[in-house]
Amino acid sequence: MDLTPIPSQTVGPYFRIGLTDPRSVQQIAPPGVKGERVKLVCTVLDAEGQPMNDAMIEIWQANADGKYNHPDDKQDKPVDPAFLGFGRQATNEDGACTFETIKPGRVPGPKGVPQAPHLIVSVFARGLLRRLPTRIYFEGDPANDQDPILALVPKERRATLMAQPATGQARTWQFTVRFGGEHETVFFDV
């Protein structure tokens, strides 16, 4: 008998039970929070392109002024107490989850160079013992060309970090996390 865990057993259902349903945070920016309101639909696909219905997405982001709701952010910018800056959702049977938020402002990057509006993402899924960190940028944002972190990614791979406007749905953006294949998402070693 072989007792070696298979990928779907290494994490088990525990993070879904303990971290998502009772502790889900879909609304990162409640109504009334300053900024351009957006709905973000994230989809997680496995290496074969099939939806993963047992993944979890966590998002951290700055507010519309480019300040994180965290004591380590020492910028002299306003904090909106209603803005959480954090979201967590499990994927559904289609491998998708949705967040209600705002488009973040620009935050300082290496050497103080402003980064393009982005969300910091952690992906948890079967077979992973550690989170996979990535980012979501907004396709077509003019600041993308000057972003110092995005510049570290080979040009041909940058599209894997871009949320796309949803066809026929105002203020809705779609982002797909791919665990393999031709358009595998860029993950960061942090």
- Going along the chain from its start, the domains and CATH numbers come out as 7-178 (2.60.130.10)
Residue 12 confidence class, pLDDT cut points 50, 70, 90: low
| Mean pLDDT, rounded, of the chain | 89
Q: How many CB atoms lie within 10 A of CB 81?
A: 7
Measuring CA to CA, which residue among 125, 173, 120, 110 is closest to residue 19? 125
Residue 9 confidence class, pLDDT cut points 50, 70, 90: very low
Residue 23 confidence class, pLDDT cut points 50, 70, 90: confident
Task: Give the position of tokens 């920016």.
Answer: 29
Global pTM reads 0.89
For the segment 83-128, what is each residue's pLDDT rounded down to a tens digit? 999 999 999 999 999 999 999 999 999 999 999 999 999 999 887 7
